[in-house]
Every structure is written in C-alpha cells, then in structure tokens.
Amino acid sequence: MSLKRMDNVGIVVESLDAAIPFFSDLGLTLEGRATIEGEWAGRVTGLGSQRVEIAMMVTPDGHSRLELSRFLTPPVVADHRNAPVNALGYLRVMFTVDDIDETLDRLRRRGAQLVGEVVQYEQAYRLCYIRGPEGLLIGLAEELRSSDGAARALAERLDRSNSAR
C-alpha cells in the first residue's frame, strides 16, 4: 500500500466563530461543523475523555481540508501561536492564492497582520507570512508562472542548496 493523500491539517483555536469567517474570506468553504466526544475520540488522540467542537474547511479544488478545533475538555495545555518561524514543530500552513495583494487587503479587514513583507522568489512566486485570527501563522503564495514550472524552480533551488552542503 502507498500513501493516497494528505487529508487535512488541524489547528486548535480559541474561537471557531472568529476563525471560520477568516478562512472563508481566504477562500475556503465550511464543509461542516460538529462536536466530537466520546470514548472512541479519546482513544484516537490519547487524551482520554474529550469534548471538541470542530469545523472542517475545504479548499476550492476540494483536495485539501483544514480542521479547526476548539477543545472544551480537556483544556488546552500549550500555546505556540507566537513562536517565530524557526521554532520546532507545527508552525504554519501555506495557501496558494490568485492575487496576493487583493488577498492581503481582504484579510486585513479581518485583522490579519503582515509578519515581514511580500517578497518575490525568482520568477516563480510572491510570498508572505501573515498572522491571522488568534495570532495563527499563515503563508500566502502567488504563483507567477504555471504551478509545474514554479514547483520545478523551487525544487531545483533546494537541490542546489542541498548539494552545496
């Protein structure tokens, strides 16, 4: 058997009511919202008894999902939302957008803040990081040429830097 796909990325938030509109404005669609609880759920996560509100958001192409979770029990035990980009562990999720400037304008109305600046990587991408609801780190990428060409350029650049080591 082989890997079929990456199903979703999970992000724990304090407020689904703040996170859902932000990610909707980014372009994701709310696929469903539910409360997950019971002994079976705790066996999956290793947390024992748990009660979690989730919202599943789907990308426009239908291939990727973002699971937003708000833990009711047990309480959240750690907070790494303000960790710098070089911190260990989960840090950010990146989305490809049609127009990075228009997306930034739209998300700023929801409170998004640019972390550094919008930069151009070769002739392939314009990139930036923003802090979204609750300080979540989110990457935005605008392809400047076809996705195959952009991905190839980035892979070649990574190969060159790995060869130099």
Q: Determine the pLDDT at residue 145.
A: 79
Give me the residues of the chain with pLDDT under 50, please: none
**pLDDT tens digits, 103-121:** 999 999 999 999 999 999 9
Query: Are 133 and 111 contacting, i.e. CB atoms less than 8 angstroms apart?
Result: yes
All structural domains of the chain with their residue ranges = 1-77, 79-165
Predicted local distance difference test score (pLDDT) of residue 38: 84
In contact, 100 and 106? CB cutoff 8 Å: no
| Predicted model pTM | 0.79
Q: How far apart are CA 21 and CA 10, in angstroms?
A: 17
For residue 9, the model assigns a pLDDT of 92
Note the pLDDT of residue 46: 85
What is the distance of C-alpha 110 from the center of its chain?
Answer: 16
Q: CATH number of 79-165: 3.40.50.740, 3.10.180.10, 3.65.10.10, 3.40.50.10490?
A: 3.10.180.10
Q: How far is CA 146 from CA 5, 63, 94, 130, 159, in A?
A: 22, 18, 18, 24, 20
> Which amino acid does the sequence have at 138?
I
The pLDDT score that the predictor gives to residue 81 is 78
Does 3.10.180.10 match the CATH number of domain 1-77?
A: yes
